[in-house]
Structure 1
Amino acid sequence: MAIDHLNPPTGQMADNVIGFARALRKAGLPVGPGAAIDALAALQLIEIGKRADVFTTLEAIFVKRHDHALIFRQAFDLFFRAEEDWKQMLDSVPLPDDAKRKPPPASRRVQEAMAQPSRGEEREAPQEHEIKLSVSDREILQKKDFAQMSAAEIAEVTRAIAAMRLPQAELRTRRTRPDRQGSRLDLRRTLRASLRTGGDIVDIRRLGLIDKPAPIVALLDISGSMSEYTRLFLHFLHAITDARKRVSVFLFGTRLTNVTRALRARDPDEALASCSASVQDWAGGTRISASLHQFNKLWGRRVLGQGAIVLLISDGLEREADSQLAFEMDRLHRSCRRLIWLNPLLRFDGFEPKAQGIKMMLPHVDEFRPVHNLTSIDGLIKALSAPTSGHHRPLIRPAA
C-alpha cells in the first residue's frame, strides 16, 4: 500500500498520533511530520484494538536508534495508558509493585515532555514579562551555589550544562601527515611523484605535525559533602564526552570506581543512573590517599599518556592526611601535563587552606579553582581551552 503524503488520514486517531509525535519530539527523539504520516498509514494496515501491535508498529517508525527505545517505551505507556478509576487507585492499599519500583532513567524527561501547560496559563502572563524574568533568573543561576538550589533550579542548570560546548585546545603530537605547508620533507612521496614524469619534474611533498585534543581525566569525590557538586559536574563531563572522545572519569569515596563506559550512554539520565548503580560508596566517607594510590598504580599509565589534563574535584577533607597523600599527589602531578584542582570550598571569600589534607595537596597542583556554580564552570571551560605554559613539555595550541 502506497503512502499518500499529500492526503494524510484525519480523525481522532490522527490527532492522537500527531500528539504522540510531538511528545516524542519534546522528549528528544528526531520525529518529523513525515514519520507521523507514515505512522498513520501503517496503523490502517493493522488491527488497532491490539495494544502490542500498535506499539510494535509505532516503534518501527519512530525509533531509529537503540538509545531511543527506552524513551519511546516510557512515552507510549504514558500517552496511551488505559482509562482507570483514579479514586479506586487512591483508595487501594497497599500500593502495587510497579509503584514501588524506581522509575527508569528516561522517565523524568518523558514526563516533562508530556506535561504541557494549559492555554489559560499561557495567556495570563505577557510575553515581555516572561523574557525579563527568564533573563534575571539566568543571572541568578549563574552565581547561585549548587547546594542551595531547588529541584526546579537544578533541572534548569542541568539543561544549561548539557548545552555547553568545550572549545578544543589541541595538543601538538610528534606524528605527521601530508601537509602542503608542512615544515618537513616527505622524501618517499616526493620520489614516487617524480617517477610519473621520469624525474624531469620534481614535486616537493611535505609533512605537517598532527594536532589532537588533549585527553581529559576526571577524578570526582563522591563523599557526603561533595555529592551535590559531583552530580552536576557529571552532567558537564557527559556533555563534553561527545566532543572529546578521550575523556576518562573515575569516582572515589572510600574506593575507586571507573565509570567511563557508563558515562558514554547518549541519554544523560541513563548515563548517570548507570554511574550510580556501579558505585557502592556514594555519599559515604573519604579516603583520598588510598584512592589516588589505586589510580596511580592501576590506571595511571593507561589514561595519563599523551599529555592528559587531570581534573581533581574534591574538598580535600581527608580522613587519613599523612605523607602518603603528598607522595601520591606528587606522583599524579608528575604523570600528567596539567593538574587542576576544583574545590567548592573556594566559594567562601575567607577560605584559607588550614586542613591538613588541603595543605599537603595544594603544592602539587597547577591551578586551584572553584566549582560551585555555572560561572565557575564557564571559567573552567576557558582554562581548558587555553594553552599551557611553564615547565610542561609539548605545546598546546589554543582553541579557535
Structure 2
Amino acid sequence: MASPVTITADECRLAPKVLLHDHLDGGLRPSTVLDLARRQGYDALPADTADDLAEWFATAADSGSLERYLETFAHTVAVMQSAGALERVARECVEDLHADGVVYAEVRFAPELHLEAGLSLDEVVVAVLRGFASGEEAAAASGRPIIVRCLVTAMRHAARSREIAELAVRFRGRGVVGFDIAGAEAGNPPSRHLDAFEYLRGECSHFTIHAGEAFGLPSIHEAVAFCGTDRLGHGVRVIDDIVLPAGAAPTDPSFGGAKLGRVADYVRDKRIPLELCPSSNVQTGAVASLADHPFNILAKLRFRVTVNTDNRLMSNTTMSREFMVLHQQFGYGWADFERFTVNAMKSAFLPFDERLRLIDEVIKPGFAVLMG
C-alpha cells in the first residue's frame, strides 16, 4: 500500500496517540537512572554518562532473545526502590509521553519488584499513582491534557499473582485500571496463574496477558481459552495460525485468500486487541526484522491491532518513532494511524463514556487536522 503523503517525524509528534503497552521500568530517562544511582549509592551501572548509558541499554537489549532483553531491567529496577524515586520516574514518564503527543496511556509495572528498601505493595502503588497525577496536573495546566492509568503486573515466574490481582482490585477507581502478567514466557504458561484470573473475572476486573511474544501460539491459546484475557500483550505469534496465499508478502495490499486456524479465528472474531510493539518485537526475537513483522498482515485481515512502545529506553523509541517505522515499512498514512489509534482507545480499560469522549473530541479531530 502506497501512502498518498510523506509523513514526517514532527507531524507524528502532533498526532493524538493512545498507548496500551508501556513498562514504567523500561522507560526511564538515562539521566534519571544516573542521578538516582548516585543518590542511592548504586555503583553497578555499565556507563557513567547519559549518552553512553542510553547506548548501552539499546545495544544490550538488541539481542534477539527475550530472556537477555529482560536482563537490562536489573539496573532500572535497582534505582526504583524508594517512594521518591518511584514518584519521580512516574511523573517523568507522563511528561515524556505528553511531549510525544500521547493523549491516553496505560503504563504497567510490577510492584513486587520494588520492595527491597522496605516499601509495602500498597506504598509502591501509591507512589507511582502520585507521580502520574503530578504529571497529569502539569499537562492539564499547559492546555493539552493527558490521561495516564496504571496496570499492575505480576511476574509469571513468581507465585504472587493472586496477591497482585487483589492489589489491582484494591486500587481500582484510584488510578489502577487492570492487571497483567509479564516475564519470560518459556516454562511459565499463563495457566499457572488461573487463580488470579478467576479472581479478577469474579471481581469484573480487566486484565491483559503477555502472550505470543517469545513462546508462540500455545501461550496465546492458554491466554484466551483458559484464562479469558481481555487483551494480548504482543500476541504477534498469532501469525503462526494463519496460512497466507502462495507467494504472499507482508506488503501485499490484501490477504483475501488467507486461512485462519481456530485460535487466530477466535482472536479476530472476539476482537481481542493485539498490543503490538514493532521495534521491541524485533529486539526480543519475536520477529526476524521489521520487514518480517506481521503487523500489516494482521491489520489487513482486520485483527484489532494497536501500536505500542513496550520499553522506550531499551528500544530507544517513542510512539512517534513507532508510527514512523510503520509508515516507512508499510506506507501507512494518517487514515491508517487514526484507525489503529481508535482501535487502541476502544480497547482501553477506561470506562466506555470516557473512551467515547476521547475518540470523538480528541482523536478524530486531531487526525482531521493532519489529514487537512
Structure 1 length normalisation: TM-score? 0.29
Higher relative contact order (CA 8 A, sep 6+): 2
Structure 2 length normalisation: TM-score? 0.30
Q: Which has the greater radius of gyration?
A: 1
